[in-house]
Amino acid sequence: MGTDISTVIAQEQSGVEYKDENGNVKDIFDILKENGVNYIRVRVWNNPYDNNGHGYGAGNSDIEKAIEIGKRATAHGMRLLVDFHYSDFWADPGRQVPPKDWINMNVSEKSEALYQYTKTSLQKIKAAGVDVGMVQVGNETTSSGIAGEAGEERYQLFAAGAKAVREVDATILIAFHFTNPDKTETILNYAKGLSDHHIDYDVFATSYYSFWHGNLDNLTSVLKTVTEKYGKKTLVAETSYAYTLEDGDGQQNVIRTQNQMLVGGYPDSVQGQSHALRDVIDAANKASALGIFYWEPAWTPVSSKGKEVNTPIWEKYGSGWASSAAIGYDPNVNQENYGGSEWDNQALFDFTGKALPSLATFKYVYTGLNTNLKYDKNEEAELQESLLSNSSFEEEDLSDYTFNDFIKRRQDTPKTGKYAMNFYNGANDYTTGIERKITLPAGTYQFSAQIQGGDTNGSEDIYAFARAEAVNVQSEKVKLAGWSNWQTAKLNFTLTKETEVTLGVFVKANKGSWGTIDDLLLTREGVDKTKLGTALSSAKEKLAETMHYTKDSLANLKEQVEEAQAILQKDDATQAEIDAECEALQTAIQALVPLENQSLSNVQHEDVKKTKENSNNKEQKGENSHAGLTDSDSSNKNGKSSQTNRNKETLPTTSDKKLAKTKKLLPSTGTSMSYLAGIGVVFLSVFVAVISKKNNQ
């Protein structure tokens, strides 16, 4: 159970104090350990400073910061995962900018530089006495590659990094980190590529955020496939969820709308956050993964006084997502968007630094807490699903769209999600826009787009349009009103027969003007999926209450959930279909049959007893249960298994004493723990409600 707290030093330097659930100020490492965290992840940037020594922000996460965090983690009995980005700032699917010192290097030179940097840095960390358990060679190395190398050349750099780690300490696990597990074929191709190029590594890691990356069953399937086909361990290297849609520091958050919450599948509440975390842990456990890391749970506001007061603090200590110093190095940072935390509403501490009850999820997935569940459902959001795929441009594949060179997909001021289409031309007046074709059945439709921007001279011509046979409609013209002042371009049109329609946004603007297009929403009149989405979220929560209802009634509900998900994703669903499915889902919830004639404790006792008996039987047959973050491959080539053998297969250590300590830190995710993780939500869910009530008294 791990957390990435790479910004914690900058946060503390900015005056942030962390408190336990009772409001007592404590060392954050104490708080994390008390709540079941046993691994710390820290990112490392080569040189996150400009020529004047001003930090780029987001923790100014250089090797010295990694050592400081690592020493504190080790002192608290936690291990360290070192996440080398091989950049001077953010490295992710949207950009993999090489370090400034590497920009003019060819692949061979860059490979040698990466090898030397990895080896020297890791030696420095270990010399400081840090207990390093795992090293990531690159961060989310998907479409943009690693250190600027996105093709086959990436594997040369992968090999160089892995070689450096092995030479420093052969017992350290080597991980490669990808993302977008919802793109199953793509992510599995990376696993194949590592195998085809004979890359020496131990762990295949992925990020998983439910508001971007699809369903958990698919995540489990991807992780299982990697283990079964390539014999590698797996890991969820990043996950998180919002407990509120409020902003705490004046910097707009990445996750901020009910639309995103509906896609994510849980309410924006402490309870919803807890359930989201629990379910990711469960999905990883089902795949016998090593574990999960929660991304930046301590990135809280430096104060509640707003952007004007906070900006000098962010600039001085690097506690915001990016400082002004990063402009010019990172293509996604500009004068309009640099600033504070964009993740404060996804932290596991509230805006004052006090631990949320959801932080205890890490420990209560194993033991649970017996109390009554109170679940706060999503409020019904005014949301309709767009009939257009990739309507918010989160997917990298834009082949359905047509656009010119003046508009690009970037992580720069999106309305929702991480990406949007940004337009700009600093040389001349220009014309641009984006459009796509879609074939629609007869009916009445509404099409809208979200647009923001500025630096116009008042002559801009910007509007949404719909064109087809006998259709030529455009919205009222939009006037750009400045950064983050979103305008809606909206129109309606009617088709009398099935027709191919071209939908888009037209932009004609003066030199130097700029803007963003996001969230293309196409809906069919009279079709509203809001209630179905809300009912689906409620049903998913009920499915988790495995100790409260009979298996048959839960199985019936699961079947209805699957049907509801299919209707929700169906582009041409009628309102009658939607309403019928919503009613069927609500009926299935009402039809849940409570367990009777036996207490929960008796049921739990008998089921745990059976689980243990089954586990013992499996061990006698040579099956091997998988352990936590420090366990090695669960396969046994000799077809034999015992507790002694599993101990020997744990991450190599220097003494039996250290081995025992490691196993104590990371509970087994074998058969019995799989059961406990499965039932922990019953007790965990209600624990959150009770603690929340207690804190409000």
Catalytic residues: 140, 238
DSSP-H helix ranges across 349-482: 361-367
Distance CA 147, CA 385 (A): 37
**Burial per residue of 90-121, b for 16 or more beta-carbon CB atoms within 10 angstroms, e otherwise:** bbbbbbbbbbeebeebebeebbebbbebbbeb
For residue 605, give every residue at least 6 positions away whose Cβ sits within 8 Å of its Cβ, in sequence order, or none.
none
CB atoms near residue 652 (< 10 Å) = 14
Distance CA 559, CA 565 (A): 10
Distance CA 619, CA 32 (A): 34
DSSP-H helix ranges across 591-642: 600-620
Of 476, 397, 385, the C-alpha closest to 436 is 397
Collapse the DSSP code of 44 into the 3-class scheme (helix H, G, I; strand E, B; otherwise coil) and give the result.
Answer: strand
| H/E run at residue 468 | strand 461-468
CB 161 within 8 A of CB 119: no
Distance CA 225, CA 191 (A): 10
Tokens of 422: 């940004």
Is residue 34 classed exposed, middle or buried when 0-12, 13-18 and 19+ CB atoms within 10 A define those classes?
Answer: middle
Strands (E), 138-297: 173-178, 203-207, 233-239, 292-295
For residue 319, give every residue at least 6 positions away whose Cβ sits within 8 Å of its Cβ, in sequence order, or none.
7, 10, 11, 13, 14, 16, 57, 59, 302, 313, 340, 341
The alpha carbons of the chain give a radius of gyration, in whole angstroms, of: 26
Q: Report the DSSP beta bridge partners of residue 547.
A: none
Tokens of 377: 């459902």
Q: What share of the chain is helix, strand, coil (3-state, %, to 5)?
A: 35, 20, 40
Distance CA 323, CA 311 (A): 9
Q: Report the DSSP beta bridge partners of residue 515.
A: 423, 453
Long-range contacts of 664-667 (CB under 8 A, 24+ apart): 665/38, 665/77, 665/78, 665/79, 665/628, 665/630, 666/1, 666/38, 666/39, 666/291, 666/627, 666/628, 666/629, 666/630, 666/631, 667/366, 667/628
- Tokens 């990711």 — which residue? 280
String of DSSP letters for 475-542: PPPP---EEEEEEEEEEEEEESS-EEEEEEEEEEE-TT-EEEEEEEEEEETT---HHHHHHHHHHHHH
The answer for 389, left when phi > 0, alpha when psi is -120 to 50, beta otherwise, is: beta
For residue 21, give every residue at least 6 positions away whose Cβ sits within 8 Å of its Cβ, in sequence order, or none.
354, 355, 356, 357, 359, 360, 691, 695
Collapse the DSSP code of 564 into the 3-class scheme (helix H, G, I; strand E, B; otherwise coil) and give the result.
Answer: helix
Q: How far is CA 689 from CA 6, 346, 686, in A?
A: 29, 18, 5
Distance CA 353, CA 59 (A): 17
For residue 537, give every residue at least 6 positions away whose Cβ sits within 8 Å of its Cβ, in sequence order, or none.
262, 265, 266, 267, 377, 378
